[in-house]
Amino acid sequence: MLVGSTIFAYKTFTLVEARYLLLFRDLDGCSGYSWGAATLVTLYRYLGDASMYSCKQLGGYPTLLQCWIHEYFPTVGKRGENWKPADNCGLPRAMRWSYRQGVLKVDDLRPILDELTPVDVIWRPFEDHRAWCVFDEICLYRGCLKWGETVVPYLPDRCLRQFGYRQYVPSPPLDCMMATDIDVDWISYHQSVIAVIGSSTVATTPSDAVDGYLEWYYCVSHPRLVPPHRDAPREVPVPVYDVGPSDPDWARVSTLIHRYLRQVNAEEEDPQFSDLFEALHISRSH
């Protein structure tokens, strides 16, 4: 129950997947498992599911996500502190925070997140904790993480500033479906670390980024949660040649011709299909 209801929590929070039993066949070897990586894989998987509108619950280890938010975004949400970092005596970092019931809903939080600026973010919150937990360069490994049958991408080159490096335009994301040598990549992670930080330099300011990065980010991402105000949509007239035929027989002919042209990726400029396109336009005009 400790594992199935915490770091690998199922959405119901009452059921435990049977596959976890295999982890405890050798109790003496449990301490050698990469529990942190497995926890991250599980949370990443559930976060991917939660990005879909149809998903209403989040599984995984929510405490990890909540503490991450508290550390990096001090102005977001309601939080209480059990102790200050300066007073830390080596306790686990998550014990710094105490839960407080908030009143803000999702719609209330979206504009708050949109209004965040670089100075509202603590880019490297764990520097005061290094006396108890030294930074491990394996955190800069770029590749896939695997736990059981679940494989997720881990891409530190997209958040270099939290590691103290200048952010550059990252490489295209990995396709985990094509990953075949994850264990080998993990063992030789040093090569990946060199590739990640070799194209960067130490950040001069916490939010340091190369020229052109923000322009790239705004092109490929969704920088705003609240859509900008736009004029009411206007009805766009449908061109005559796109209006379907009113006669059911002609409609059937039009559908069959259009389906074939789409299957063969035909272009109207191609003389090979000029007769079919002419027949399509004739059928749509009836």
Structural domain total, the chain: 2
Q: Is the model's pLDDT at 233 over the cut of 70? A: no
Say what angle helices 62-72 and 35-50 make with each other, to 10 degrees. Answer: 80
Task: Look at residue 236 and tell me whether its pLDDT is greater than 70.
Answer: no
The per-residue pLDDT for range 175-200, each reduced to its tens digit, is 887 777 888 888 889 999 999 999 89
186, 268: one domain = no
Same domain, 147 and 224: yes
pLDDT for res 208: 95
Q: What percent of the chain has pLDDT over 90?
A: 31
Same domain assignment for residues 180 and 263: no
Q: Are residues 249 and 220 part of one domain?
A: no
- Give the whole-angstrom CA distance, residue 59 versus residue 49: 9
**Mean pLDDT highest for which of 82-86, 100-104, 132-136, 237-241?**
132-136
pLDDT value at residue 32: 86
Positive/negative CA dihedral, 216, 220, 226, 228: positive
181 and 261 together in one domain: no
The answer to whether residue 62 is domain-embedded is no
Alpha-carbon Rg for the chain in angstroms: 27
* Residues 225 and 141 occupy one common structural domain: yes
Domain boundary among 203, 229, 255: 229
For position 246, what pLDDT does the model report?
66
Nearest to 6, CA basis, from 56, 55, 65 = 65
Asked if residue 277 and residue 199 are part of one domain, the reply reads no
Residue-wise pLDDT for 86-96, tens only, equals 776 678 888 88
3 state DSSP class of 146: strand
Domain C-terminal end among 229, 251, 267: 229
Are 146 and 223 contained in the same domain?
yes
Residues 213 and 185 in one domain: yes
Query: Cα dist. 132→40, 85, 211 in Å?
Result: 21, 11, 36
Under a CB-based contact definition with an 8 Å cutoff, are residues 280 and 258 in contact? yes
Q: What is the pLDDT of residue 186?
A: 83
Arithmetic mean of pLDDT, 124-132? 86
Decide if 24 is inside a domain. no
Q: Indicate the helix (H) or strand (E) that contains 40.
A: helix 35-50
**Within a domain: 206:** yes
Considering the domain architecture, whether residues 143 and 215 belong to the same structural domain is answered as yes
Q: With respect to residue 117, please indicate whether it lies within any of the assigned structural domains.
A: no
Asked whether residue 258 is assigned to any structural domain, the reply reads yes
**In this structure, is residue 193 part of a structural domain?**
yes
> Is residue 237's pLDDT more than 60?
no
Write the pLDDT tens digit of every residue in 246-259. Answer: 677 777 788 788 77
pTM, two decimal places: 0.72
Domain limit, last residue, from 189, 207, 229: 229
- Note whether 39 and 8 are within 8 A (CB): yes
Strands 150-154 and 143-147 turn out to be antiparallel
Task: Indicate the helix (H) or strand (E) that contains 152.
Answer: strand 150-154
Residue 164, in any domain of the structure: yes
Q: Which of 39-48, 125-134, 177-186, 233-242 has the lowest mean pLDDT?
A: 233-242
Nearest-10 Cα torsion for 107, 108, 114, 119: -150
What is the residue-averaged pLDDT of the chain?
84
Tell the burial category of 143 from Cβ atoms under 10 Å away from its Cβ (0-12, 13-18, 19+). buried
Instruction: Give the model's pLDDT for residue 240.
Output: 44
Shared-domain flag, residues 207 and 142 = yes
pLDDT band at residue 142 using 50, 70 and 90 as cut-offs = very high
Per residue in 23-42, pLDDT (tens digit) is 888 888 888 888 888 899 99
Which residues in 60-104 belong to E strands, given as ranges? 79-81, 97-99
Please tell me the predicted confidence (pLDDT) of residue 200: 93
**213 pLDDT more than 90:** yes
- Pair 144, 180 in one domain: yes
Give the closest residue to 174 by CA, choosing from 195, 198, 201: 195
pLDDT in tens, 49-105: 888 888 888 888 888 999 999 999 988 888 888 888 777 667 888 888 887 777 888
Domain contains 29? no
**154: pLDDT strictly greater than 90:** yes
Domain span including residue 205:
137-229
